[in-house]
Amino acid sequence: VGEYKDYRVIRVLLLAEEETLVQRIKSRENLPGTYRGTVDELKASIEKHGQPDVSLYDRVLDTQKLSPEETAKEIERLIEDSK
C-alpha cells in the first residue's frame, strides 16, 4: 500500500425515509446482470443497524428533497471544496 499525502476521505450520507427507500426498491427496473435488492433486505438492515449516526458524516444530503442530479452536484461540490 502506497502513501497518499493528499488523500482525504469525505463521508456523505444519502438520507431518505424508510418508506421512500421501499418505494425506490419497488420501482427499480430489473436489469440483466444487476441486483436491485429487496424490501425485506432493507427492513432487516434497518432493524439490525438502526438509523445512521449523522454526526459521523461530513455531509448529509436529504435525497427526498434533492433530485439525483442535484445530489450528484452537491457531492461534486463537496469534492471540489475539499481540494
pTM of the model: 0.74
- Partnered with residue 13 across adjacent β-strands are 60
Quick: pLDDT tens for 24-63.
Answer: 999 988 889 988 899 999 999 999 999 899 999 999 999 9
DSSP output for the chain: ----TT-----EEEE--HHHHHHHHHH----TT-----HHHHHHHHHHH-S--GGG-SEEEETTTS-HHHHHHHHHHHHHHT-
Name the residue with higher pLDDT: 6 or 34. 34
Name the residue with higher pLDDT: 81 or 43. 43
d(CA 11, CA 58): 5
- pLDDT, the chain, mean: 90
